Amino acid sequence: MIGETLNTTRLIEGIQGNLKVELRNATTGKIEDLIESSNFISMAGVRHLKHIQRANFFKNGISALNANADIDNAMPNTHNHIVLTSLTDAPNQSAEWHMHGKLAGYAGKYTYSGTCNLLGSPNAALSEATPTYTKWVFDWQTNAGNGAIGSIGWMNAASTYRGTVSFPGRFYSSCTVQDSKPVSNFYVRLARSSDSQYFLALSGTPTIVVGDSNFAEVSNFTVGTQFKASTTLTGIAWDASNNKLWVLGTNASNAPIIASYNTSGNLIDGPTTITNRSYRGLTYDGSHLWSIAAVASNSFTLYKISTNGSDVSNAPVTLPPHEWSGAPGFASGEFAYGLAYEPSKQLIYVATWAYHYSSSNFRAGGGSSTDSPHATSSLRAFTTAGEETMVPASLLAYSISTASSDWLTSLQGTSTSNEFDFDLIGPYQVIMPDRKSTTSSVKRLLLDGMGSRALLPAPLNKTNAQTMRITYQMDYI
């Protein structure tokens, strides 16, 4: 029987990835560090490889006969770029979908020579493929790939930028839309209390909708007695410890305030005045509230706030500026608009919208090519001390049901930003409202850009006095 000779799980298990990292003194050429490791294939990597096996063995040709009959859509390629991060967590093959850790460098399957601080290049003379193995060899010069390296893996690139001396390089991995629920209202704030209960705030009014698992309205309440009547709330956050919803916004005097409510909309705490800042979003870590505010161009600060309204601590966050080749004074970059606390890793995720300024319009996204100098809307993660600790995920989301992709927050062509909120279901799943020109929905995203990861037995720290070579060999056993 064919099941005995073509077991797709066994084919994937028969791939073993081994790598070797060499750090050399750039002046003498002497090896100063050499380390070896092996990889595991992630959940997203297994999914991608299984689809390739199905497509190559059986389904090719069906869509030519009847396009509607082929709903086995391709998965994003999770093995087109090699990525280096500071991650030192033990591997968890059954749970990992995306690469955490601070990004140290990356390389595609294309040659590169330039000043990008991240980008390496494949070595054409040493890379090769045979029936029993495929070997990729990548080199980084002294200017690139510097910093702590704890894990190396393959990832999908949704967007990249080959940086310059003035503008740092960028790499954004992918995410996919797992589910999309149409909604009748334009929601801009969202808080999840469970899989069956969500709180959603409308634009331009202090009304909060209580939604079910499909985001259909079950009830609603207004907080207009405490908050300014005709305003969009700054943020909402569910307090699971005390079974109440925290709300951030402004009062009739335009002063920022916080208050909490039960699920019926009855006031519990506040309203309490807090320090006057341009807050964007709200989240709760089990003890304290967090928000983020701009302090300068591309510079933001995370603020930890007690439930009595006093400042507890703060941490600076710098988002990347972006090169703009237009007229002088034109700017582009990433700007924070919402945040959510992830308790298992104790991280704060931040959503950014991005633009390049042209003809008085803000334009979302990454330009016309994968490697673009323009801004990219993304999801990032930071420690509570403000250190970035996840490979950014581009919000150019791919739909596994329609085999298409789109910028999630659809900012293009607007003169101001449409600031959407989000919440998390664990470290790899995101719930986010989305609005197109005529429709609104709430989407569930999976951060699933990682194909494989190899944990180094000990972290390396590359400096600008060293070159680096990584040999990544896939053996077919």
* Whether residues 205 and 254 fall in one domain: yes
- What average pLDDT values come out for the chain (477 residues) when binned by 10 residues? 49 78 97 94 88 79 82 85 97 93 96 94 96 96 97 93 85 92 89 96 92 95 93 94 96 96 96 95 97 83 97 93 53 81 96 64 53 78 96 88 71 48 94 79 93 95 98 90
**Do residues 124 and 190 share a domain?**
no
With CA atoms as reference, report the closest residue to 349 among 237, 453, 458.
237
The pLDDT value recorded for residue 366 is 54
Give CA–CA dist 23/25, Å, rounded: 7
Asked if the structure places residue 455 within a domain, the reply is no
Same domain, 124 and 213: no
CA distances from 309 to 191, 246, 275, 281, 371 (A): 20, 12, 8, 15, 44
Domains in the chain: how many in total?
A: 2
Q: First vs last Cα of the chain: how many Å apart?
A: 23
The CA-CA-CA angle for residues 179, 175, 61, to 5°, reads 75
Residue at 165 is within a domain: no
Bridging pattern class, strands 256-261 and 15-25 = unpaired
Domain check: are 101 and 197 in the same one?
A: no
Quick check: is 168 in a domain?
no
Q: Given this model, what pLDDT does residue 437 score?
A: 61
Task: Confirm whether 166 is domain-assigned.
Answer: no
Note the pLDDT of residue 404. Answer: 79
Specify the pairing of strand 176-183 against strand 396-399.
parallel
Domain extent, residue 394, equals 176-448
Q: Assess contact for 301 and 309: CB atoms under 8 A.
A: no
For position 206, which CATH number holds?
2.115.10.20
Backbone conformation region of residue 147, classed left if phi is above 0, alpha if psi is from -120 to 50, else beta? left
Within a domain: residue 352? Answer: yes
In a domain, residue 163? The reply is no
- Beta carbons of 82 and 434 less than 8 angstroms apart: no
Contact (Cβ atoms closer than 8 angstroms) between residue 37 and residue 455:
yes
Helix (H) or strand (E) holding 52: helix 43-54
Question: The tokens of 134 are what?
Answer: 């495929």
- Same domain assignment for residues 383 and 468: no
467 is a domain residue: yes
The reply to whether 209 falls in a domain is yes
- Cis omega (within 30 of 0) for bond into 271: yes
Task: Note whether 183 and 119 are same-domain residues.
Answer: no
Are 118 and 204 within one domain?
A: no
Rounded distance, CA 234 to CA 256, Å?
9
Q: Do residues 312 and 288 touch, judged by C-beta distance below 8 A?
A: yes
CB atoms within 10 A of CB 122: 18
Give me the DSSP letters along 144-194.
SS-EEEEEEEEE--SEEE---SSS--EEEB--EEEEEEEESS-EEEEEEEE
Check if the beta carbon of residue 146 is closer than 8 Å to that of residue 463. Answer: yes
d(CA 435, CA 408): 8
- Same domain assignment for residues 210 and 346: yes
Co-location of 138 and 90 in the same domain: yes
Are 466 and 441 part of one and the same domain?
no
- Whether residue 120 is found in the same domain as residue 196: no
CA 16 to chain centre: 28
Q: Which two tokens stand for residue 211?
A: 């939604």
**C-alpha Rg value of the chain to the nearest Å:** 24
Do residues 143 and 192 both lie within one domain?
no
Place of tokens 């056993």: 477
